[in-house]
Amino acid sequence: MTKTNSMNVIITKDYDEMSLRAAQIMADAINETPNGCFGFATGSTPVGMYKALIDMHLAGKVDFSGLTTFNLDEYYPIQKDNDQSYDFFMRDNLFNHVNLDKSRMNIPNGETDDPVACCRAYEQAIEACGGIEMQLLGLGLNGHIGFNEPTAEGFSRATNLVDLTDSTIQANKRFFETEADVPKKAMTMGIKTIMHAKKVLMIVSGASKAEIVNTLINGPITPLVPASVLQLHHDVTIVLDKDAASAL
Ligand code: F6R
């Protein structure tokens, strides 16, 4: 594979402008393909964008009624009604506030007894829907996308069950009562799944991510920086706030 150099990098002045800009890009894509499959992400970065999408929906500017959604990942094991599950997060931050038909909302099932089969079925469901029109991504401090952590292994994985790294457990323990409550595994779309999306929209905010943003855009393509693989995707838009863009 060769670099496509087609990353569209948009620098905005702050978190609010980043959120609005990204919401507009996603809303335009939804309006273009109102019956398509769209990929969503959790984390702190998309919260403002989801608020903006809800506002646009309430103003009649975007309609979720025809969409099928696929989320990037989910902890394993976790109950859906745990307020730290990504299932709970998506309902709370977006899906309960728009007219999405919840029977077409897909998030890996943290309650399953057979996570490996669940991951396989998830990948098949994405293929069966004809591929993801636009996949939203955040960016981990170590360059992870989804729960695809730095590894020497390459970019070939589809949706799979992964062990969380100690750094991710440490980063996420603030959301749980004790460190022992943080699930030790997750189900995540693989890099291969993400790269099959027709369009990728990444949002990144804050100075702490400035270095990794520069590495992902300008550094070598390596599985040690999982997001660097996006240099090979033909249609990537990265919306940054000023701080996240400060090392470019
Ligand atoms: C979320 C996900 C993660 C986050 C990343 C950034 O579904 O898969 O890769 O996008 O960890 O998280 P925040 O936005 O909290 O900095």
The pLDDT tens digits of the residues spanning 136-160 come to: 999 999 999 999 999 888 899 999 9
CA angle centred on 241, ends 60 and 235, rounded to 5° = 70
The pLDDT tens digits of the residues spanning 167-225 come to: 788 888 888 999 999 999 999 999 999 999 999 999 999 999 999 999 999 999 999 99
| Beta strand residue intervals within 68-130, DSSP E | 68-71, 73-76, 105-106
CB-ligand 1 contact for 108 (6 Å cutoff): no
- Pick from 88, 136, 139 the residue to mutate for probing ligand 1's pocket: most ligand atoms within 8 Å of its CB: 139
Mean pLDDT of the 97-111 span: 98
* Chain centre distance of CA 222: 19
Q: How far is the CA of 120 from the centre of ligand 1 (A)?
A: 22
CB-ligand 1 contact for 23 (6 Å cutoff): no
Write out the catalytic residue numbers. 73, 142, 144, 149
CB-ligand 1 contact for 44 (6 Å cutoff): yes
Relative to beta strand 37-40, strand 68-71 is parallel
Q: How far is the CA of 233 from the centre of ligand 1 (A)?
A: 20
CB-ligand 1 contact for 144 (6 Å cutoff): yes
User: Can you give the pLDDT at residue 152?
Assistant: 82
The pLDDT tens digits of the residues spanning 64-96 come to: 999 999 999 999 999 999 999 999 999 999 999
Confidence of residue 63 (pLDDT cuts 50, 70, 90): very high
The maximal CA–CA distance of the chain, rounded, in angstroms, is 47
Helix axes 47-58, 86-93, angle to 10 degrees: 40
CB-ligand 1 contact for 146 (6 Å cutoff): yes
Work out which ligand 1 atom sits closest to the CA atom of 203.
14
Mean pLDDT of the 4-29 span: 94
Q: In what order do the strands lie in the sheet with 160-163?
A: 73-76, 185-188, 160-163
Which residue's C-alpha comes closest to atom 3 of ligand 1? 146
Q: Is 198 helix (H, G, I), strand (E, B) or coil?
A: coil
User: Can you give the pLDDT at residue 4?
Assistant: 56
Q: In the predicted model, is pLDDT for residue 228 greater than 70?
A: yes
